[in-house]
Amino acid sequence: MMAYPANIEQRINDLLSRMTLEEKLGQMSQHSVGGPISAQLKDEIRKGRWGSFLNAGSPADRVEAQRIALKESRLGIPLIFGRDVIHGYRTIFPIPLGQAASWDPELIRQAARVAAREASAAGIHWTFAPMLDITRDPRWGRIAETLGEDPYLASALGAAMVRGFQGDSLDAPGSIAACVKHYVGYGAAEGGRDYNTTWIPERLLRDVYLQPFHAAIRAGAATVMSAFNDLNGVPASGNPFTLRQVLRNEWKFDGFVVSDWNSVIEMVPHGVAAGPREAALIALRAGVDMEMVSRSYYEHLKQAVESGEVDQKLIDDAVRNILRVKFRLGLFDKPIPEKVAAEEAPPDAEALAVAKKLAAESVVLLKNANRTLPLSKTIGRVAVIGPLADSPVDQMGCWVMDGKASDVRTPLAAFRDVLGAARVAYAPGLKTSRDTSRAGFPAALEAARRADAVLLFLGEEQILSGEAHSRAFLDLPGAQEALVEEVAKAGKPLIVVIMAGRPLTFEKVAARADAVLYAWHPGTMGGPAIADLVLGVESPSGKLPVTFPRTVGQIPIYYNHMNTGRPPSEKALGIPTGTPVDPQGFDSKYLDVDFTPAYPFGYGLSYTTFEYTNLRVSSPSMPMGGKLTVSADVANTGTVEADEIVQLYVRDLVGSVTRPVRELKGFRRVRLKPGEKRTVEFELTTADLAFHNAENKLVTEPGVFHVWIGPDSTRGLRGEFRVTE
């Protein structure tokens, strides 16, 4: 946690004592400005009408608005400018789900640091990130913004993002305030339909969905955003259990809570408020300090206070929380810039280097039959085909506010740079990922026939993922599968690179391909990163942060599920052989698709091979409150230097409530030269094994545990230990 000057609270109390009720409600109001800040808005700033803006004009507009707030308003309270800096500002990094595939907290911290530096230089103080919603449904469009399905991984990476955005101190140059969202349960929307109902028992809420948020708060996150969804019948922006009991009382959070866009007044269509006035009362009492965009606080809370319906203390507490963050950011004391650049600077060398490295680490090698990859740099000619081979906007992915297509380096450009234009034949085949016309197929097939290898870039356009972009089907859209069939007729090595905002289902394409790389939406430097991987400059090291289903009919499918009383037998498929009288084969599976995923959580191949041996558990048992170490030897048994992400899983065999079949409890990125062996060690404490029991109490129960060290959630060396009283 960051340390702050003690006199901040004194300064807050002094300000509060001098503020009118209207000025307090102004601090609790955030306005969205699509263009320049108008003369009317400037006059409202002088009167203390607004405490915050998002999407507000140019850097010069923001400087002038801040000057007015500090120099011309009655109390000189600064504005806080927010912006959706989700996976980069000018330099665009892979979508968060792609970043999660790197399993690299330090590199993710560096990327957030670059984003904060760029945004801060443009007058932004606050980002609405990281998004820490756990989701088990890839139909949900906003899975692109998440860090995947696992609370341990999301906690580690989300905390790293917070540290990157906020730096060592919020008031330091290049630091911006993080806002962890969407609190809470938004990723469990029914059917993957955005904004939809979520039903999460408290035990599951605490063990899975709250964990990443708690980790981010422990890392010092300055602000929290309440979500759109209702949670167990109570809208998240009007939920005193999550906002006051858990966030304030249990976690001791002292920053401020902002509602998501219009989510306060959306409690009216939710059906828990009769109108905006009642919605404002519900949100304030629940613990929402600042209202985003809608105006119910400013328009209704003054009368509610004056009539005695609302305690003035609730208003003062909300304003105190907001002012505390403004003081911590140094907004009261920072000088107003005399000059502002007319245009923001393009990405610098450091930013591009981090973007390229993170893009490379995020790519997951799903298939590599007969060692098709890497291609030799001396290869004669390659065909670059597909609608996403040269599409800068789509490569950046969803939720890009300030990235520029002109900065993006596409795969086509990268391969031309490395191999020379004469050795690269390009044919898009389809105009967009959704294109159903086959007019471009003949040229694509001809390019493939003239090449020694085919690179086929498939997936989803930018507009097919993100907020309000849920999909009922996860197959490759348009005529992409038909394009694969056509290009395969050339009989050349076929390497498929998929760029997408979510897991897709592409079993037929994978069967046709010799190699498959999953590149997500990789951002500004995605092209050079992919070229380096394809040509063997680096070996792929990404591991899946989310389970890939074979078909949408399997959803939800996730690795840390419960076992059930009738778990499926290995390779169980088809109609059971028994009857209700003699139930042979009556277990938890589908009749028409394998119950296993297409690709499991934690999965990812390399250009080399790794061997795991000699699992050791330091003690056969540990007492309550104790610890032990689990280690294994990992060797590079191939011919390429590469990184392996070594993963630690546990299973509590018998609990007072059912426990998951595996739970991630640790991971390490290890770089090994050919023939090199290294011991990888993890420490486990009994606190790491805790869960919430039927009474929602956090407990570690004595008993036998299995432990694995391995390359993914389905394999590994298994050991055992016992926790004793």
Q: How many domains does the chain have?
A: 3
Q: Is residue 354 part of a domain?
A: no
Q: Is residue 422 part of a domain?
A: yes
* Between 57 and 365, residue with greater pLDDT: 365
State mean pLDDT over 38-50.
97
Same domain, 294 and 439: no
For the chain, what percent of residues have pLDDT higher than 70? 99
pLDDT score at 34: 82
Tokens of 353: 């280097």
pLDDT score at 240: 98
Per residue in 551-600, pLDDT (tens digit) is 999 999 999 999 999 999 877 778 888 888 888 889 899 999 999 999 99
pLDDT score at 397: 98
Same domain, 523 and 478: yes
Same domain, 179 and 266: yes
For the cut 70, the answer to whether the pLDDT of residue 471 exceeds it is yes
Same domain, 120 and 226: yes
> Given the DSSP bridges, would you call strands 256-259 and 291-292 parallel, antiparallel or unpaired?
unpaired
Same domain, 40 and 119: yes
pLDDT score at 610: 98
State mean pLDDT over 121-146.
97
State mean pLDDT over 649-659.
98
Chain center to CA of 145: 4
pLDDT score at 4: 65
Answer for the pair 512, 578: CB distance below 8 angstroms, yes or no: no
Catalytic residue check, 532? no
Same domain, 114 and 173: yes
Question: Whose CA is closest to 688, among 147, 149, 211, 100?
Answer: 211
Same domain, 86 and 222: yes
Q: Is residue 16 part of a domain?
A: no
Catalytic residue among 133, 150, 230, 260: 260
Confidence of residue 35 (pLDDT cuts 50, 70, 90): confident
Per residue in 85-106, pLDDT (tens digit) is 999 999 999 999 999 999 999 9
Per residue in 62-81, pLDDT (tens digit) is 999 999 999 999 999 999 99
401: CATH: 3.40.50.1700
Q: Is residue 299 part of a domain?
A: yes
H-helix segments, 489-525: 507-512
For the cut 90, the answer to whether the pLDDT of residue 415 exceeds it is yes
For residues 158 and 162, what is the distance between their CA atoms, to the nearest angstrom? 6
> How high does pLDDT run on average in the chain?
96
Contacts of 248 (CB under 8 A, 6+ apart): 287
For the cut 70, the answer to whether the pLDDT of residue 231 exceeds it is yes
- Which of 473, 501, 534 lies at the terminal end of a domain, its last residue? 534
Same domain, 425 and 315: no
- Which of 476, 503, 534 lies at the terminal end of a domain, its last residue? 534
Range of the structural domain that residue 40 is part of: 21-328
State mean pLDDT over 34-51.
94
Question: Whose CA is closest to 717, among 706, 705, 725?
Answer: 706
pLDDT score at 344: 77
State mean pLDDT over 620-635.
98
Per residue in 296-352, pLDDT (tens digit) is 999 999 999 999 999 999 999 999 999 999 999 999 999 888 777 666 789 999 999
pLDDT score at 1: 56
Answer for the pair 682, 662: CB distance below 8 angstroms, yes or no: no
Same domain, 119 and 29: yes
Q: Is residue 335 part of a domain?
A: no
Same domain, 280 and 373: no
Q: Is residue 357 part of a domain?
A: no
Please identify which residue in the block is written with the tokens 């803006």: 53
Per residue in 666-721, pLDDT (tens digit) is 999 999 999 999 999 999 999 999 999 999 999 999 999 999 999 999 999 999 99
Q: Is residue 605 part of a domain?
A: no
Q: Is residue 546 part of a domain?
A: no
Q: What are phi and psi of 152, to 5 degrees?
A: -65, -50
- Cα distances (Å, whole numbers) of residue 10 to 16, 17, 40, 327: 10, 11, 33, 11
Please identify which residue in the block is written with the tokens 């105006």: 295
648: CATH: 2.60.40.10
Answer for the pair 709, 632: CB distance below 8 angstroms, yes or no: yes
Answer for the pair 222, 325: CB distance below 8 angstroms, yes or no: yes
Contacts of 403 (CB under 8 A, 6+ apart): 88, 89, 90, 91, 92, 396, 523, 524
Please identify which residue in the block is written with the tokens 């890392």: 219
Reported pTM: 0.97
Same domain, 320 and 387: no
Tokens of 323: 């002012």
- Which of 328, 346, 376 lies at the terminal end of a domain, its last residue? 328
Same domain, 241 and 368: no
State mean pLDDT over 365-371.
98
Q: What is the amino acid identity at position 80?
A: I
57: CATH: 3.20.20.300
Q: What are phi and psi of 282, to 5 degrees?
A: -65, -45
Candidate from 158-162, 215-219, 572-576 with smallest mean pLDDT = 572-576
Q: In residues, how long is the chain?
A: 725
